[in-house]
Amino acid sequence: MDNNLTVDSITLIASTPPKLVSGPISTTFSSASGFPELHVSLHSDEQHSLNFDLRTTQLFRLGECQSLCVSDGCETIKEKIYSKGITIQFKEEEESKAFHGAFELWKSKETIQGSTLPNGSVSSSKSKFDDKIEASSAKMYFHYYGQLLHQQNMMQDYVRTGSYYAAVMENQADFAGRVVVDVGAGSGILSLFAAQAGAKHVYAVEASEMADYAKKLVAGNPVLGQRITVIKGKVEDVELPEKADILISEPMGTLLVNERMLESYVIARDRFLVPNGKMFPTVGRIHMAPFSDEYLYVEIANKSLFWQQQNYYGVDLTALHGTAFQGYFSQPVVDAFDPRLLVAPAVSHVINFTTIKEEDLYEIDVPLKFTASVGTRIHGLACWFDVLFNGSTVQRWLTTAPGAPTTHWYQLRCVLSQPIYVMPGQEITGHLHMIAHSAQSYTINLTMSAKMWGPGAEQGGILQTSSCRLDLKEPYYRMSQPQAYSTAQDQQPNQLLQSQDLQLPSLDEDGSDFIQQPANDSTVQIH
């Protein structure tokens, strides 16, 4: 598999004086010698040429249309030249970008089952990712996703994997004959789905050691694999030889935003996607609603009872009880819960992946406004998310809502250490404020208030306020399945599970039911 590119001219910089060779000059990337090399033809008769071993060669940009290629040594066909490098002149910037992209891909060339697949690598220079993420966090993150058992856990989430497969295969028109970039490819399963749908070529970008397993999986499916290139590196750093018509990725974490991979997804969009290209998924929504769960509240509060001991081997522990009590309530709870625990219709925060700026994900502020449907104690805010694959043929949703089939994301609840008492019809207000931090997660600040209810309520005023600060990086993985709760007061059991058509531009407003479970054929408008 050769890659032929033409440059305008080259200059042999080690010659005295430097020798200019005018073009057009043909260059070829190949691995015919058993290793990746760059072949530069100095004349059309091929009798004078240079061969660069890409394993010991570096390429630097000197300008928009000029680059420097430096090697430990090179040879002509007739004689050895002790030149350490050449400058390359391109006619236009696009030719330069194509050359650099091909160089990066062929630099770590690998042979797979008799056919060659270029698998790119990147330099070790500090990247934008490294600037905002702690090295220790990144090391643990890539180690985690570099293990097959964790990939298996995600692949065995059949709601997740089945939804992706359906979204791709139902929208083959979006993939057939198109260039696809798989952002954070992991095992490469989504790349193989894209190839099944007829993609012209798929670039599977994966930064962890899982890239090596992805190459094996691709090699084990040669009919599909001949159209897949696995590139080991971060999307912030790698170079690709061409633009993508469509991006596919699974960038969602707990509460949609945990692990901060959405930012990498947006960076990939800005770097690789053609104008008006497709993104699978296209839109994400975080849904929030107040809940009442006495069992959960007592369970968390009771954890700190250990610190109320006054004679623990002769030691009084009570001085730490208050700190321990608040510490347990600083952990978001990840589990699956019964949707009948919700006490008000949900509100939603929409993130449109096709338009949002990376910086907009650094800080997310969501105003909260609910009307209580029952009189009860509110113990906090329940959250879940869904994403839309806005295909040309079918619009497919993947949801993590309570009451829907459980996924490996479960749902998330922020529990207040001081519950709020409300009456039916009472208004609940507040804010969910999330600030990204360098450990690839978010600090959550939640405030919920019950506004005055009854006579005099029209004059305003706050009756009760409760707040908490939580670290999304350190959740309490409760992982329990929903318990059989009794129906709250006059609330009908199926009231929370209504479906409706959705119009995305209005999703920041209060919903008309507690859980919005979008039907697969629901109509959604993207602006």
Q: Helix and strand tally (H, E) in the chain?
A: 12, 27
Report d(CA 354, CA 360) in Å as an integer: 13
Give the residue from 71, 64, 66 showing the smallest Cα distance to 87.
Answer: 66
Concatenating the DSSP letter of every residue in 232-281 gives ES-TTT---SS-EEEEEE---BTTBTTTSHHHHHHHHHHHHEEEEEEEES
Q: Which amino acid is at 186?
A: G
Give the residue from 323, 274, 297 showing the smallest Cα distance to 416.
Answer: 297
Give the residue from 304, 204, 283 showing the smallest Cα distance to 507.
Answer: 283
Q: Which helix (H) or strand (E) holds 193?
A: helix 189-196
Contacts from 128-132 at CB under 8 Å and sequence distance 24+? 128/236, 128/267, 129/234, 129/236, 129/237, 129/264, 132/438
Torsion, Cα 177 396 231 274, to 10 degrees, reads 60
Residue 95 among the catalytic residues: no
Q: Which of 206, 259, 263, 458 is catalytic?
A: 259
For residues 482 and 493, is the Cβ–Cβ distance under 8 A?
A: no
Q: Which amino acid is at 294?
A: E
Sign of the torsion angle spanned by Cα atoms 252, 510, 366, 447: negative
Q: Which amino acid is at 166?
A: A
Cβ neighbours of 451 (radius 10 Å): 17
At residue 161, the 3 state secondary structure works out as: helix
Q: Which residue has the tokens 């028109």?
A: 173
For residues 194 and 182, is the Cβ–Cβ distance under 8 A?
A: yes
Q: Which of 250, 263, 427, 458 is catalytic?
A: 250
Q: Which amino acid is at 7?
A: V
Question: Beta strand 115-117 with 411-422: parallel, antiparallel or unpaired?
Answer: unpaired
At residue 407, φ and ψ (nearest 5 deg) are -110, 175
Give the residue from 364, 350, 382 showing the smallest Cα distance to 509.
Answer: 350
Entry field: residues in the chain: 527
Question: Beta strand 57-63 with 49-53: parallel, antiparallel or unpaired?
Answer: unpaired
Report d(CA 161, CA 189) in Å as an integer: 9
Give the residue from 55, 50, 64 showing the smallest Cα distance to 100.
Answer: 64
Report d(CA 111, CA 103) in Å as an integer: 16
Q: Which residues does the annotation mark as catalytic?
A: 250, 259
